[in-house]
Structure 1
Amino acid sequence: MSFVLDGVSMELSGRAVLRDVSFAVRPGERVVLLGVNGCGKTTLLKLLDGLLFPTAGRIGWEGAPLDARALDDAGFRRRFRGDVAFLFQNVDAMLFNPTVADEIAFGPRQLGFGDADARVARWAERLDVTGFLGRPPFELSGGEKKRVALAAILAAGPRALLLDEATANLDPASAARLVELLGELEGVTQIYSTHNLSVAEELAPRAILLAPGRAGVLFDGPTGALLGDDRLLVESGLAHRHAHRHGDAEHAHYHVHDAE
């Protein structure tokens, strides 16, 4: 699944959230969108999922325009919704079935897959939610809901994943297992958003850096190179320079802001 953004700008409630953003994502590529809260990461993912449409610029998917007119076409909409899945940061908005088993089976059943039960069993095991299959999703903790929502998405077999703060509300061990699982998905385009620098390089080898009030992107390249660039991290607000004195000597240290 490929995406192309060409000069994309987005205003919400009269405020410019994104301005003149351009980049392309190749099929099967993994990319992490980095930036502080308010820089437009979630808005950008919603644009890529066709939940919002830009106020200026163009978005393409698989060589075709991704806009309201395209999604009005039933055939295009079915292909796009079957191929592209969005994991919301607040997964409560995604969970509505009476049991976890029904939640995971919903997508495969809607798409007419005859092996829905097998898909439920497979992804419940992979996401470690087998013990919850008979329970209502609303009874679960935030981290458990996140794993159920991801199992439900993956059970439908998408070819592209848009993940908004995928590791939020997960303990370190669960976050590590999730990152490992996602890294094992072959041929699936993955675009993550996060402000947590400690997981960025594990999520994706390519990083795109956004900053509030700035047009375009501040950086687009290897994640490791960005994490080693203190100037850019400070400029974007993901780190700050802390200076202090030892006698007559002044020292400066950089501190990152990576708590979720």
Structure 2
Amino acid sequence: MPFQLDHVTLELSGRAVLRDVSLSVAPGERVVLLGVNGCGKTTLLRALDGLAFPAAGELRYAGMPLTARALDDATFRRRFRSEVGLLFQNVDGMLFNPTVADELAFGPRQLGALDVDARVRRWAEALELVPFLDRPPFELSGGEKKRVALAAVLALDPKVLLLDEATANLDPAAAARVVELLAALDVTTVATTHNLSVVEELGDRAILLDRAGGGILFDGAPAELLRDEALLVRSGLAHRHAHRHGSAEHAHFHVHDAE
């Protein structure tokens, strides 16, 4: 298993955002983490990337404990960082090189890859970044920066992709292209979103987190979750809207699709 969580509790500023979570992610699985802002999606991704650690319970990567001590070991750290890539929701902190080409080349160079130029060209073409290769990233729009950051992660040739709101800041056409690209990749993927319209394209397994920090409300097929309006309302991803026509009252469920 790429990841195994056993009774994990994660805290943010001393407050538990996820409690007693147990789950596993199998090789090649495409998992979508859903929930409202503040439910712990990003904190869980950070833990899977070794940037945060459980306050209780155990988190393992490929059978090995994923701890600060483990990442102090140079051999494990190099393997883990080469195999697991994280795309932040706010990508400004990920971009620091003088040109887009340098951004895409940075990770492979750090890992000593022999095909850096080929990787840069491949992902620049895949994410329609070729016209920007000689430009500084800070000059680009938010959506263009997002595509640069994703290309930089993919240039590492990771076995596991962790994606925090991968389609945020993208226009509908660009978002559709990114979702299509991600669906074609042969990698393990854990992606967060609160946009229900892309859930079935992003993954074949949906995990819904409780907005109160209690843990997992649902773990199963995305289509099954999307049919459960009551559960979506309970999670905060939808709401029940009642209105009257004369003496008759009607109720409709509204889904929160905006990112």
TM-score, normalised to structure 2's length?
A: 0.98
Distance in 2 separating the partners of 1:182 and 1:107: 19
Distance in 2 separating the partners of 1:43 and 1:14: 13
CA contact (8 A) 1:127 1:151 kept: yes
The Cα of 1:248 is off from its aligned counterpart by 2.5
Distance in 1 separating the partners of 2:75 and 2:14: 34
Which segment is superposed worse, 213-222 or 155-164?
213-222
CA contact (8 A) 1:123 1:154 kept: yes
Which segment is superposed worse, 167-176 or 247-256?
247-256
Say how many residue pairs are matched.
Answer: 259
Quick check: 1:257 aligned with 2:256?
A: yes
Q: How does 1:170-185 map to 2 (within 5 A)?
A: 170-185=170-185
Match of 1:109 in 2: 109
Distance in 1 separating the partners of 2:212 and 2:248: 36
CA contact (8 A) 1:22 1:216 kept: no
Match of 1:100 in 2: 100
Distance in 2 separating the partners of 1:238 and 1:18: 18
Cα deviation, 1:200-250, whole Å, max 9, x if unaligned, reads 111001100002224220000000110110010000000000111222322
TM-score, normalised to structure 1's length?
A: 0.98
Q: Secondary structure at the match of 1:170?
A: coil
Match of 1:120 in 2: 120
Cα deviation, 1:15-55, whole Å, max 9, x if unaligned, reads 11111111111001000000000000000000000000010
Distance in 1 separating the partners of 2:77 and 2:237: 37
The Cα of 1:11 is off from its aligned counterpart by 1.8
- 1:9 corresponds to which letter in structure 2? T
The Cα of 1:107 is off from its aligned counterpart by 0.9
Q: Secondary structure at the match of 1:218?
A: strand
Q: How does 1:48-197 map to 2 (within 5 A)?
A: 48-186=48-186, 188-197=187-196
Quick check: 1:226 aligned with 2:220?
A: no
Segments of structure 2 that go 5 or more residues without pairing to the other structure are none
Q: Secondary structure at the match of 1:109?
A: helix
Distance in 1 separating the partners of 2:244 and 2:142: 43
Cα distance change on mapping 1:99 and 1:225 into 2, 3 Å: same
Distance in 1 separating the partners of 2:213 and 2:191: 20
Distance in 1 separating the partners of 2:213 and 2:87: 26
Segments of structure 1 that go 5 or more residues without pairing to the other structure are none
